[in-house]
Amino acid sequence: MVLDVDRCELDSAVRLGNQRVDALADMRRRAEAEQRRADDDNPRWRDMFAKIPNVRDLGGIPTKSGGEVRSGIIIRSGTPEHATPEDVTALVDSLGVGSVVDVRAPKEAAAGRGLLNNRNDVVALNMPIGSPVPQVPGKTDFVKVYRESLEASPESIVALARHVLDADGAVLIHCLHGKDRTAVAVAALLDGLGVSSKEILADFMLTNRRLEQIRSVEGIRPPRPAQARAMTGALDILESYSTRLGLSDGGGYLIAHGFTTDELVRLRAKATTGQIERSG
């Protein structure tokens, strides 16, 4: 009898435990679904384009100081080389893009800008960002690729920051998918603007909400999903530079590679809501 009672209590406990596990799993699924909806509805998306994928404005991303990145300053995307005439008009006239920075290797960038070549009012620049790490399909260590991309490309990244500082109009930054090399460049810029690693990672992961859009553009090979682990390696490097220089609000990577304190203050004044003084 005692054994039967014990067995009944054990069975009851197991059922209760399973119910709790199921409830937690359901809560997690609901939370993930809500996050996906929030990501899809993020006001920073610019989805008016037929053939320019993964377009979003960095405006609205919060900074550590309580401000946020201004809209209409930095826009990221996949390649615009397949843009339709209507896409080009929207890019320039609606979003105010005055320059397009291709962060692919020169040979890739030579593929062209498509119809953007017909716009004399849009400056075209190539500031290559890349890693010397060989990429083997299915075997590439993207943690290492992202880290090496930062370490191997300081001249391009600092030049990009200076261009954003001096540019007339919005700056569009792109690679092929707007996911890897663009992400490294954007991460360094956002770090310089005083954005936390958490927010940089959140922006990086948004690309996963536009993978089908990227695949739909003719001529673009399908991308793999963005992986948080890959960006974490780059963020560790950015944080380490700021820690060594005693900069609690970021920007250490840019400063360590020749960007001046005055330039950093002016960049933040231009691209964020409120000038953030260099700390430390």
The pLDDT score that the predictor gives to residue 83 is 95
Instruction: Judge whether 5 lies within some domain.
Output: no
- Considering the entire predicted model, what is its pTM? 0.84
Angle, helix 142-152 to helix 228-245, in steps of 10 degrees: 40
For residue 195, give the 3-state DSSP assignment. coil
**Phi, psi angle pair for 111, to nearest 5°:** -60, -20
Which pLDDT score, from 0 to 100, does residue 25 have?
Answer: 53
What pLDDT was estimated at residue 33?
44
Task: Tell me the two tokens of residue 269.
Answer: 């004044």
What per-residue confidence (pLDDT) applies to 243? 97
- Residue-number span of the structural domain to which 144 is assigned: 56-271
**Number of domains comprising the chain:** 1
Three-state DSSP class for residue 228: helix
**Residue 264 falls inside a structural domain:** yes
* CA distance from start to end of the chain: 72
Q: Is residue 27 part of a domain?
A: no
Supply the DSSP symbol for 78.
S
Length of the chain: 280
In a domain, 8, yes or no: no
Whether 45 is covered by a domain: the verdict is no
Domain CATH for 190: 3.90.190.10
* 41, part of any domain: no
Identify whether the C-beta of residue 76 lies closer than 8 Å to the C-beta of residue 58.
Answer: yes
pLDDT at residue number 34: 46
Question: Which of the residues in the chain have pLDDT under 70?
Answer: 1-7, 9-11, 13, 17-40, 132-138, 274-280
Whether 189 contacts 257, CB under 8 Å: no
pLDDT at 133: 63
pLDDT of residue 40: 62
Q: List Cβ<8 Å contacts ≥24 apart for 239-248.
A: 239/197, 242/191, 245/280, 246/279, 246/280, 247/278, 247/279, 247/280, 248/64, 248/279, 248/280
Query: Does some domain include residue 115?
Result: yes
Residue 181, in any domain of the structure: yes
| Furthest CA-CA distance within the chain | 91
Write down the pLDDT at residue 279: 45
Which amino acid is it at 20?
Answer: R
Looking at the DSSP bridge assignments, the partners of residue 173 are 76, 101
**pLDDT at 136 (0 to 100):** 62
Q: Are 88 and 68 in contact (CB under 8 A)?
A: no
